[in-house]
Amino acid sequence: MFQLPFPVRDANASSGADGLGKLPEWDLSDLYTSEEAPELSRDLDWLQGECASFAADYEGKLADLDADGLLACVLRNEQINNIAGRIMSYAGLRYYQLTTDAGRAKFLSDVQEKVTVFTTPLVFFTLEINRIEDGKLDALFAANADLARYKPVFDRIRAMKPYQLSDELERFMHDLGIVGDAWEKLFDETIAGLTFEIDGEELGIEATLNHLTEQDRAKREAASRELARVFADNIKTFARVHNTQAKEKEIIDRWRGMPSPQMGRHLSNDVEPEVVEALREAVVAAYPKLSHRYYELKRKWLGLDRMQVWDRNAPLPMEATRIVDWDEARDTVMEAYAAFDPRMGELAEPFFDKGWIDAGVKPGKAPGAFAHPTVTNVHPYVMLNYLGKPRDVMTLAHELGHGVHQVLAADQGEMLSSTPLTLAETASVFGEMLTFRKMLEKAKTKEERKVLLAGKVEDMINTVVRQIAFYDFECKLHAARADGELTPEDINALWMSVQAESLGDAFDFMEGYETFWAYIPHFVHSPFYVYAYAFGDGLVNALYSVYAEGAEGFEDKYFDMLKAGGSKHHKELLAPFGLDASDPKFWDKGLSMISGLIDELEAMEE
């Protein structure tokens, strides 16, 4: 079944609020011009016919194909993926523009159902690949270099072999996926439809969350309490979504014989469970020297005896409150990208000029930010909710990094371009680091440098510490749900059990903060996605340290890494840089970069 990743509009720019300038909007016509476009009807008809034809030509016959025959089969499957992906990308991106629009929601649901029905006959493909004997498959690869190029795809498919069900049950699971998607849509529509009132103004969730970074502490507190009030009013819905999604996953995992709720994510990420556990253990062990130490510093800067949750992302007292307009954000990121390598700037430029970014905050628009690769013969689309904060500039740098990565990997083709989540954050976090270093280089005063350093440390803590705490919360949630239905209070307690441990002794937690698990989309859309952020940050910190040391030919190796897409394992990708994620010391190398920035901040206090 084809889905849009969530951790993924017209070309005319719209005027941004509060002096943000002209904010770009999507031009989706590179996919299709409208719901009624004849090309869309043509592609749906082709997909229906080709899926049926593919099944008729190959079902029950894969094991008998020679190398040329199997390659032809793979190429036809790849074309099916391309057309289905194009259709679903268009329907999904239009929906994310305005999730509260019933027509767009219906169009997405209708298209999802059609694509699912059309592709159900293809379930045999992976099942039969897994029944081919290892020796025979190796011989086929040896006989045809073009087929051998797809070996990483076959390896990932065959990693699921121990957890494969009967053909009939796999088809049933494929069809049933539509029901699980309905719960995700309920979550999206509920979140997008929430309204919050602050100082008499009615706001959506993005604008309300933005208040948590206001200089005025009273505004931050008001936003936190209003978030808690609205989440509490809707907590039964959120608890029902989480209970249902977790139970569905538990049933599927149990039937498949998965050893843990996390195993499916590890398999899709092409990463070993012990590597993820080494990352988790390294981060949790580092809590005292990272988040605990930093927030104690911040408590002193804010002049507080105790911090509250609304102080976590507060600007520093010496930080000037200013709006970064869109043109300045664009110039800052583009300069940083081009300074690393002019090729990076050239790859990023079309995103700004050709309607590949949708930046404005609008009622009903999906919250957050993402870069969706669509299909390899179109281009990615980046979604932001740009409000002009300095951190929004970093978000732009982050999502643009994803976009550049996706453009570079597209030459691998539909089946090899998709990068596992653990490596998908590489270019995005690296792009953030380039932008941060460029801004730090331009800092004119000690105070400005301090603000930039502190902002970067907070972003890294949010990416590493916070995401590992999220991962621990999910592990506890799925383990507890296996024993029975969870009340909202049960889920609240699990959330709070990881918060104090990760944030440290500087914090008190207001009444109502226990519900703040409710709005995190990854828990619903992509269980256990979150550790990929910490994986990516640790990987990039280690990678950047190699770059900072002046490693010869780094830029070319880096581009080769991004171009590889999903065609290589993380061990193979990191080897040219002298790095190995399976070495426990690898994670210490990445975490020491964050610790070093905190050292610099502490030194400024002396």
pLDDT tens track for 509-531: 999 999 999 999 999 999 999 99
Structure confidence at residue 14 (pLDDT): 39
> Looking at residues 198-216, what average pLDDT do you find?
92
Structure confidence at residue 332 (pLDDT): 95
Give the single-character DSSP code of 166. -
CA pair distance 55, 124, nearest whole angstrom: 8
Percent of the chain with pLDDT over 90: 79
Tell me the whole-structure pTM to 2 decimals: 0.82
Question: What number of residues does the chain have?
Answer: 606
Amino acid at 394: M
Structure confidence at residue 412 (pLDDT): 96
- 95-98 contact pairs (CB < 8 A, 24+): 96/4, 96/365, 96/366, 96/383, 97/9, 97/26, 97/358, 97/362, 97/365, 97/366, 98/362, 98/364, 98/365
Amino acid at 602: E
In the predicted model, what is the mean pLDDT of the chain? 92
Structure confidence at residue 582 (pLDDT): 84
- Give φ, ψ of 313 to 5 degrees: -110, 25
Place of tokens 């902002």: 455
> Looking at residues 517-546, what average pLDDT do you find?
92
Tell me the pLDDT tens digit for each residue of 402-432. Answer: 999 999 999 999 999 998 878 888 999 999 9
Which residues neighbour 550 within 8 Å (Cβ) at sequence distance 6 or greater? none
Which of 2 and 299 is assigned the larger pLDDT? 299
Is 203 within 8 Å of 196 (Cβ atoms)? Answer: yes
Percent of the chain with pLDDT over 70: 97
Amino acid at 197: E
Structure confidence at residue 4 (pLDDT): 41
> Looking at residues 458-486, what average pLDDT do you find?
96
One-character DSSP codes across 211-278:
GGG-S-HHHHHHHHHHHHHHHHHTHHHHHHHHHHHHHHHHHHHHHHT-SSTTHHHHHHTT--HHHHHH
The sign one gets for the Cα dihedral 436, 441, 442, 447 is positive
Q: Which pLDDT band holds residue 240 (cuts at 50, 70, 90)?
A: very high
Q: What share of the chain is helix, strand, coil (3-state, %, to 5)?
A: 70, 5, 30
Nearest-5° angle of CA 541, CA 151, CA 81?
90
> Is the predicted pLDDT of residue 585 greater than 80, yes or no?
yes
Amino acid at 520: I
For the ranges 47-56, 126-135, 587-596, the maximum mean pLDDT occurs at 47-56
Which of 42 and 171 is assigned the larger pLDDT? 42
Is 439 within 8 Å of 594 (Cβ atoms)? Answer: no
Place of tokens 């793979």: 74
> Is the predicted pLDDT of residue 5 greater than 70, yes or no?
no
Structure confidence at residue 24 (pLDDT): 96
Tell me the pLDDT tens digit for each residue of 247-288. Answer: 999 999 999 999 999 999 999 888 999 999 999 999 999 999
Least confident of 15-24, 35-44, 282-291: 15-24
Buried/exposed 65-77: b ≥16 CB within 10 Å, e otherwise? bebebbbebbbeb
Structure confidence at residue 17 (pLDDT): 53
> Looking at residues 558-580, what average pLDDT do you find?
93
Which of 443 and 35 is assigned the larger pLDDT? 35
In angstroms, what is the C-alpha Rg of the chain? 24
CA pair distance 184, 353, nearest whole angstrom: 33
CA pair distance 553, 379, nearest whole angstrom: 28
- Give φ, ψ of 503 to 5 degrees: -90, -30
Amino acid at 343: R
> Is the predicted pLDDT of residue 595 greater than 80, yes or no?
yes
CA pair distance 68, 140, nearest whole angstrom: 9
What stretches of 144-226 adopt beta strand conformation (E)? 196-198, 201-203
> Is the predicted pLDDT of residue 6 greater than 70, yes or no?
no
* CA nearest to 335, candidates 425, 437, 406: 437
Place of tokens 């604008």: 207
CA pair distance 572, 579, nearest whole angstrom: 10
CA pair distance 580, 561, nearest whole angstrom: 14
> Is the predicted pLDDT of residue 329 greater than 90, yes or no?
yes
Which residues neighbour 191 within 8 Å (Cβ) at sequence distance 6 or greater? 205, 367, 519, 521
Tell me the pLDDT tens digit for each residue of 103-117. Answer: 999 999 999 999 999
Which of 38 and 184 is assigned the larger pLDDT? 38
Two tokens, residue 545: 């340290």
> Is the predicted pLDDT of residue 182 greater than 90, yes or no?
no
Two tokens, residue 216: 């005025």
Structure confidence at residue 10 (pLDDT): 26
